[in-house]
Structure 1
Amino acid sequence: METRTYTLKDISLNICDGVHNTVIDDENGDCLLLSAKNIQCGRIVFDENTDRKINRELCNKLKKRTKLSKNDIAITTVGANVGDLAIVGDGSENYEFQRSVGIIKANTKIADPIFLFYLLGTNSFNYYFHVIATGSAQPCLFLGTLNKIKVQLPPIPTQQKIASILSAYDNLIQNYKKQIEALQTAASELYKEWFVRFRFPGWQTTEFENGIPEGWKVERIGNVGEVIGGGTPSTENEEYWDGDIPWLSPVDLSDNTNVYVSRGSKNITELGLKKSSAKMMPKDTVLLSSRAPVGYVALAKNPICTNQGFKSVVCNTSVIQPIYLYYYFRMNKNYLQSIASGATFPELSGSMMKKIKVLLPPEKVQQQFSERANSFIAKAELLSEQITNLTQQRNLLLPRLMSGKLELK
């Protein structure tokens, strides 16, 4: 395939970053000031609880420099996720970025912005961004460096065809993600209906005693399961790492949207497990992050171990179902965070975890809930696997299309 080499500066109308000056928030503002944390999985993600608000006048003033508009490419330029990308979509008039985000406005006579987004999002470019990022405190991708990055572009019609093919994959992936969200919402609502509103099967004929259904109990976590901490093998010993044992840290759950998790970003060896405080836990262990931050929760899809940032629970399934405890922790995240303590950062200790009280419905009710909830989760897990496959296929397509191994039609 015929291509031509350009620098990003050659093919861009504007490359800049977000606001550098101190900005005063406006809690009544109708615009947002976003940062690198809002760039996730190729999209700009909003969080109404944490996003900074600014007024319209200030937002418009900032736009005079960035000229932010639809189909611009936002790139993380500061921090561990340097090089992460997102396409600016509809509604760009309602937000601006802080300096941790760079903005690339493609010259559409030379570069199709969607094609450029996919090109810069390939593994080779992501690796390159991390290599060229500099900074003593944290990695920084400076604008001068960004301008000089070289890219190979085919003619515009070819770029547009490739972008159309890859976008079709992303549209399907987003559709699956919406289905997963709906299934997870259904499972959460089922929990609320049965165990918060107490509209469980047979509730109409059930007597209540002390505010809970008759026959239900309140028990401490330490009496319904084993609370297990974790540990980290020495990072100075290579023999402890890159083995076959899945090892999890709270960071691994930061962007996890699935109920079940099978592994984190790192594995350890048998020797690493033996020489640390990490402990193997069985499938269906309820994994709860106990610090930095408190409240991430997942179920183990297979035997797994964690670092010291977890206080996990191996349930006594004759008393409590893992999926029930999973949703109990999810619904009570604010409470868990409120009881955490510590001088450096809030933390749930093992003794605190054991004392936490949990409402225990009868075994039959828990079993019924488990069956219903797991039916939703199983469908979501299947869709998640399809997303993984589609993502891998999409990532393989671009280099094959660029090399001519696959013919464009």
Structure 2
Amino acid sequence: MHGSDGTASGAVRDPEGRGSRFVGHRSINRQPGAAPVIWTIRTLGEIARQAGGEVRTGPFGSQLHKSDYVEDPAATPVVMPKDMVDGRVDPTSIARVDDRVVERLSSHVLRTGDIVLGRRGEIGRRAWTGDMEDGWICGTGSMRITINGSTEIRPRFLFYYLGLPQTIGWLQGHAVGATMSNLSAGVVQQLPVRYPSIAVQDAIVRVLDEVEILIENNRRRIEILEEAARLLYREWFVHFRFPGHEDIQLVDTDLGSIPRGWSQTCLSEELELQRFNIKPFEFADEEFDHYSIPAFDDRRLPSRELGPEIRSGKYLLAGESVMVSKLNPRFPRVWRVDRSHHHRRAVASTEFLVLTNPDRWPLSFVYGLVTSPDFAARLATTAGGTSTSHQRVKPADVMTMTVVSPPPAIVERYSAKVRPMLELADNLLEQVEVLRKARDLLLPRLIAGTLDVSRLDLSPVPM
């Protein structure tokens, strides 16, 4: 028996409405010149039960309290929705708990191959649990999906399926809550999942993983380049092991011992705080590059938005600057920005301090200064607020900081070494974005079966 739309009675409706021919819980994709591929549709709950796995929400607030979190960097991380960035867990500002809490929350421990899904707030975030995250905790606001025992669907294929725009739309459409969206495990178990044979899944996953590997390799190269720049700053301007340091004596100052001929200076004497304010929403037809805290946390690239979509006043950016977040300085956010060759106007959140004046200090040197552990620690001590999650620094407190000022020749020599590193890091970040866009274009076509995976060229991409 069939319904008026041709769907077999009792079959799970395909949420993407692809007009395929249904056979019970299966559909057949026919492509010219290719063998037909059978796609099965089952709910996530059915898949998990068949696999001996589960769909389980993270601990509720009554099980995991703020007082359980510790500052120990060696403690076990707890994965919240905010930590899920582009399909992976970003540990930059992750919360941690000690072994006592881990033992108490043993039913929420993540294992390799698990998928963590955001169930509260920003519905649609998800992250893969790799070997590094094995043993971490699924946090409040998150949900753990385990199907490692499935003989029908690869966990990695399901991970990509959960990243489909249609899947995210389904989850968002089934979330409840007026002020903050929530998903229950029961609702997520009803999610229809459409998948082909294991062999086809493996081919699809291989294509998408190739792109992910390129993204991850570039991301690691960026981290190495930025860390090299920070280490060189520390070597020259903290430990004072710059070229020729052997012949220069140290002298005592309020900041401790510094090389003779160097000086102490107030930050405001070397840098300007850019505060030119603009109301983008007054420009109805203009697109802006919007440098916001969420954009930094997400991809470290500005979002492109029409003026009316930006609903509050912002700083107008021009030329080169280094931006430092005023919010929660315990987790530094430092953004290098160069708008010298852009035609589109750019704006920044007023949660950033926009530092400029490259005529005095090259911004590669400023980047080293504001990312140094000493500066970050001093910034954190000036912050105020009602809670540790809403600490802010005052611009005046930052600009009145006293710092060491090296001779211009040393600064220029340092900048000549570091500038190419940071420029390469910026270029790699742009490559990462190109790869992400390619992945996001491939993903729905591969998962939907509209792109024949056997026809794709999987030869390595030269870097």
TM over 0.5: yes
Amino acid at match of 1:247: H
Cα distance, 1:19 vs structure 2:
2.4
Instruction: Decide whether aligned partners of structure 1 residues 56 and 30 sit closer, same or farther in structure 2, where only a CA change above 3 A counts.
Output: farther
Superposed CA offset, 1:238-257 (max 9, x none): 65567323232333323556
In structure 1, what is the equivalent of residue 337 of structure 2?
300
Q: Percent identity?
A: 22
In structure 2, what is the equivalent of residue 77 of structure 1?
119
In structure 2, what is the equivalent of residue 215 of structure 1?
261
In structure 2, what is the equivalent of residue 160 of structure 1?
202
Corresponding residue to 1:363 among 408, 412, 415: 408
1:323-402 map, 5 Å = 323-331=364-372, 332-341=375-384, 345-401=390-446, 402=448
In structure 2, what is the equivalent of residue 41 of structure 1?
86
In structure 2, what is the equivalent of residue 290 of structure 1?
326
The two structures have a TM-score, normalised by structure 1, of 0.84
Is 1:139 matched up with 2:181? Answer: yes
The two structures have a TM-score, normalised by structure 2, of 0.75
Give yes or no for contact 1:75–1:103 (8 Å, CA) kept in 2.
yes
Runs of at least 5 residues in structure 1 that lack an aligned partner in the other structure: none
Distance in 2, Cα, partners of 1:404 & 1:117: 19
Task: Provide the secondary structure at the position in 2 that maps to 1:341.
Answer: coil
Amino acid at match of 2:295: D
Which protein is bigger by CA-based radius of gyration?
2
Give yes or no for contact 1:285–1:314 (8 Å, CA) kept in 2.
yes
Distance in 2, Cα, partners of 1:343 & 1:100: 23
Give yes or no for contact 1:111–1:159 (8 Å, CA) kept in 2.
yes
In structure 1, what is the equivalent of residue 452 of structure 2?
406
Give yes or no for contact 2:249–2:260 (8 Å, CA) kept in 1.
yes
Distance in 1, Cα, partners of 2:288 & 2:115: 38
Distance in 2, Cα, partners of 1:246 & 1:91: 35
Is 1:55 matched up with 2:100? Answer: yes
Cα distance, 1:386 vs structure 2:
2.3
Cα distance, 1:76 vs structure 2:
1.0
Superposed CA offset, 1:116-135 (max 9, x none): 11111123323433333221
In structure 2, what is the equivalent of residue 313 of structure 1?
355
Give yes or no for contact 1:33–1:53 (8 Å, CA) kept in 2.
no
Instruction: Decide whether aligned partners of structure 1 residues 407 and 78 sit closer, same or farther in structure 2, where only a CA change above 3 A counts.
Output: closer
Give yes or no for contact 1:18–1:103 (8 Å, CA) kept in 2.
yes
Distance in 1, Cα, partners of 2:161 & 2:364: 41
Give yes or no for contact 2:314–2:348 (8 Å, CA) kept in 1.
yes
In structure 2, what is the equivalent of residue 248 of structure 1?
291
The farther-off stretch of 7-16 and 276-285 is 276-285
Runs of at least 5 residues in structure 2 that lack an aligned partner in the other structure: 1-28, 30-37, 340-344, 456-463
Instruction: Decide whether aligned partners of structure 1 residues 326 and 57 sit closer, same or farther in structure 2, where only a CA change above 3 A counts.
Output: closer
Give yes or no for contact 1:179–1:380 (8 Å, CA) kept in 2.
yes
In structure 1, what is the equivalent of residue 32 of structure 2?
none
The farther-off stretch of 329-338 and 243-252 is 243-252
Superposed CA offset, 1:338-361 (max 9, x none): 113356854333433331223221
Cα distance, 1:92 vs structure 2:
6.2
Cα distance, 1:203 vs structure 2:
1.2
Corresponding residue to 2:219 among 174, 177, 194: 177
Task: Provide the secondary structure at the position in 2 that maps to 1:280.
Answer: strand
**Number of equivalences:** 394
Superposed CA offset, 1:104-159 (max 9, x none): 22262221111111111123323433333221331112212211111221122211
Hey, which bits of structure 1, 4+ residues long, moved more than 6 A?
Answer: 26-30
In structure 2, what is the equivalent of residue 87 of structure 1?
128
Output the aligned Cα RMSD: 3.2
